[in-house]
Structure 1
């Protein structure tokens, strides 16, 4: 799991608690692990959270007090990350994480940042594993779904958590759990993919005139708009095409950049895996939907150009395109459930004509399978990390004895392991930077001056130039929430293209209108980019609120 704390020059990683040989000593050429276990000083407890300094490449151990494995995250308005749920306890000093709420403070910091995880006294009212999270219009954080026990690939009715609750930054008690009907299923439906493939549901807040928490939600193959404060169905939508799209299908999904002044919401869903049992098949198809349309429907768009992909990450880039990176070409989400790594990233351009929306990028040499992640950086680059199909630390990464069959909550799983018994994918500790094509531009715009905070619907002034000269051509101001990333999900990842006009009264100046209201962009800390003819500046942090 990975995110960028606002107003810092760092990225933060959290993981399952397990033995860790990823500290100093990893061979960056081969990926060979360290010879020494990476422990918290003075303990025999393995490090399972770190801060990575993007400027110096230094690591600083962080210490969650409970197991963060397969948790969820989203941001409060001041930039504090709320990390919720988790997994089984580890050794003494690593508590059960299923109902925990942890927070991580943003910058700016005096001199350098030294914050660590803070365990909150308030807990979730329900134990959750593989839930999703989304910041709401009032800045509280919604937590949806999950299971109340670990060790599974398919969810089962006996452990399914078909509810949601809301948490608050002031540490008051969470909202009592409320049933979300599309998450409910019976034991007779355990092997119905449209029902039991319901973990890490998709959540996308939709712009709406009432500024309500109307959220496009997908679980399995079911799609709805649900009001999570009125606790009511707003609209039923057509099922996702042909197959379920949430874990273990693990499709790639994003809400495409919202463009002022209309802020029309379009959701892109690509790939994932079929519901075929016991052998899920990775998919190459892509679809879009405008959920708020009166007769909303799924529309086929260009398919993934290099073939099927499952478990890939979708990253919104400040030029309005979408990077799809990491994942596998066979199988599905889950430990040892995939093979044939995806080495070539692709970029999807929603503005391009049909048939030419994808562009293939240069390949990596590092497999990024289950438990890999990616996140947009303030530089405009993308940080890539992880890959651990074995779930616990494995220097070899081969499938366990009994392949292809494995246990699931006391019985044989309905799926079989898709990783071949001749394939080896060790725990991967190296990180990479992906540089989108715009990073090769001979020069990039610079933000000369901008406010530190902006107000919904209000116009503000911004100055920017290109190597000291006036910007010419198409210029856009972009707000970005890089989001919290895990298991192919970019929770609360969001981007808005703001209304922009040149200001003739000031040199290199623009009048920019902030997002209309909190349903377009919830109150929070965001990266502000200036793009000129598709080339973005580096991002500056800016606060959006009332």
Structure 2
């Protein structure tokens, strides 16, 4: 069943069994462990559902990030002519460097509010095409680079609630040391961001620099052929030993950012190139307190064969493999390869509150680039990291909307996945095959089909901030059986662009006690992450996940 949908005949049989179990449960004839198993069967049988939230957002979001106010920053490039949403207040953008519209009165960024589904235009001046970003400790989104007049820019967005007027601020006195187009950012334990790579840029630097210059990174030179690249938007993951896992093309290293030292070169992943424009994706699998926050694992899925970018017809088939590696495993470190249910590149990988991975969006052939994508893959897949090899994939309900180049997927605080963007054309093209996509939709994973909102855990009380290693208690309402099996999981808010969630991480906290305080309400005692290496100081979504794998709506917590 983990590999796909069961037949309707077998599904009917299983649902009948579940119905009998639920009746027996109601009269007290079924023990708690069977109740828990029943709930998990319901989750596996469910396939998830889609909902279009906005028919026309006005812009096609190339870059998407969820703020700690729960609203969502949508960001496209500016150098494309008018969007479909006007700037408010009669504002216009007068930019002689713009190659299409030197006088532009439309927005190229906006704030979207789930729930009300409202959109407020934002003002961005320089070109953010294929730029990068990350939230910092106070919740500000720091955004770097782009193309043309945005090549060396540093921009900030300090978010606000729906009644605020927060907007982009572009620095006039600080810029990147090397202009960067197709780079990647990662928040570090010291509060700075490291910014790595870019097209024809083989260095890394820090924002703020604090007097430190750009540093050459040989991995970027070694993995660049000067023609197709395949090493842009490198994958960065901050490991719990304070080293960086950096992956480009098919190769990866462990990098000590404090001493500028390549600690180790790791084995080459089998198969195709995995970075832009071949366009796989990557996550660091959830870290857990049970392991002492050690033994991280990296998952890389999808990609395209060399030459896919150079063949604009999009005929070369995408990769069908994932590689999984434990980079700190000593001499035994190597890639374990797995086969996805279907070929996919340009897929977005999202860490879910349940510690599973959702793979969504993408194409079955071609590569990133204008018109290079063909055969959209509209069926999302769940990857269950804790399951046995060969049983980890579960195909879910397909979307009606193809999402290929320049599409995004972000975890929302209500545990849905916000899916936006898709533009495989140089400019907005609203007709023909794979038109510029202006709709925003939400995917509800199977865990939201377990019985409705009334059956989900719910925070009654939770702290707004946590010091490192601090013991804390939350109060959670839940009607699920076996409440002592509840999890408390922290999810960061990623900056998602080009099939990679920059800064994405998920942490399973240790639960030391669960006490019934009144009917269906429990005091759950836990311990915050130990340090800024495990959880760089920022805002995180705290989820309570019940014993059958159903998450609460998150509460935002400032860590550190």
Question: Structure 2 length normalisation: TM-score?
Answer: 0.81
Q: More deviation in 521-530 or 254-263? A: 254-263
Deviations 1:321-340 (A, max 9, x none): 11100000001122211100
Look up the SS of the partner of 1:240 in the other structure.
coil
Counterpart position of 2:306: 275
Does 2:518 align with 1:496? no
Q: Which residue of 1 aligns with 2:490?
A: 479
Q: Which residue is equivalent to 2:150? A: 97
Q: CA deviation at 1:42?
A: 4.5
Match of residue 179, structure 1, among 195, 216, 221: 216
The structure richer in helix per residue is: 2
Q: Give the SS at the match of 2:115.
A: coil
SS in 1 for 2:339: coil
Does the aligned pair in 1 maintain the 2:72–2:112 contact within 8 Å? Answer: yes
Trace 1:17-416 onto structure 2 (pairs within 5 A): 17=78, 18-23=80-85, 41-43=90-92, 44-45=103-104, 46-88=106-148, 96-107=149-160, 109=161, 112-120=163-171, 121-147=173-199, 160-168=200-208, 175-185=212-222, 189-191=225-227, 196-208=229-241, 212=242, 214-262=243-291, 263=293, 264-276=295-307, 278-279=310-311, 280-305=316-341, 307-397=342-432
Q: Deviations over 1:315-356 (max 9, x none)?
A: 010011111000000011222111000111111111122222
1:67 aligned counterpart, secondary structure:
coil
With over 3 angstroms needed to count, the CA separation of the structure-2 counterparts of 1:39 and 1:78, relative to structure 1, is closer
Q: Counterpart in 1 of 2:42? A: none
Deviation at 1:47, TM superposition (A): 1.3
1:452 corresponds to which residue?
464
Is the contact between residue 10 and residue 51 of structure 1 (CA under 8 Å) also seen in structure 2?
yes
Determine if contact 1:68/1:85 at 8 Å carries over to the other structure.
yes
Deviations 1:43-86 (A, max 9, x none): 34131101111121111110112111101011111111111001
Q: Measured at CA, do residues 5 and 395 of structure 1 come closer, stay the same or move farther in structure 2, by a change above 3 Å?
A: closer
Shift of 1:299: 3.4
Following the alignment from structure 1 to structure 2, what is the Cα–Cα distance between the partners of residues 260 and 239?
30
Runs of at least 5 residues in structure 1 that lack an aligned partner in the other structure: 24-36, 89-95, 148-159, 398-423
Structure 1 range deviating more: 58-67 or 198-207: 58-67
- Once residues 535 and 368 of structure 2 are traced to their aligned partners in structure 1, the CA distance between those partners, rounded to angstroms, is 30
Q: CA deviation at 1:22?
A: 3.0
What is the rounded CA distance, in whole Å, between the counterparts of 1:387 and 1:186 in structure 2?
27
Map Cα deviations across residues 154-203 of structure 1 (whole Å, 9 max, x no partner): xxxxxx100011003xxx7563100011011599x425x6xx31100000
User: Could you tell me how far 1:314 is from its partner in structure 2?
Assistant: 0.2
Q: Is the CA contact 1:271–1:284 (under 8 Å) kept in the aligned structure 2?
A: yes
Structure 1 range deviating more: 268-277 or 133-142:
268-277
RMSD (CA atoms):
2.1
Distance 1:40 1:144 in 2: 38
Quickly say closer, same or farther: Cα 1:358–1:185, change in 2 above 3 A. closer
Tell whether the 8 Å contact from 2:66 to 2:412 is kept in structure 1 after alignment: no
The number of residue pairs the alignment matches comes to 472
User: Within 2, Cα distance between the matches of 1:462 and 1:437?
Assistant: 26
Shift of 1:7: 2.8
Conservation of the 8 A alpha-carbon contact between 1:380 and 1:536:
yes
Which residue does 1:151 correspond to in 2?
A: none
Mean alpha-carbon deviation: is it higher for 321-330 or for 7-16? 7-16
What's the CA shift for 1:103? 0.7
Q: Are residues 185 and 356 of structure 1, via their aligned partners in 2, closer, same or farther at CA, if it must alter by over 3 Å?
A: closer
d(CA) in 2 for partners of 1:227, 1:186: 19
Quick one: structure 1 residues 535 and 520, their matched pair in 2 at CA, closer, same or farther if it must change by over 3 Å? same
1 CA distance for matches of 2:118 and 2:90? 17
Select the structure with the greater relative contact order (CA < 8 A; seq sep ≥ 6): 2
Secondary structure, counterpart of 2:330 in structure 1: coil
Give CA-to-partner distance per residue, 1:111-149, whole Å, 9 cap, x none: 7232100112311011110000000011111100002xx
User: Helix, strand or coil: the match of 2:219?
Assistant: helix
Partner of 1:527: 541
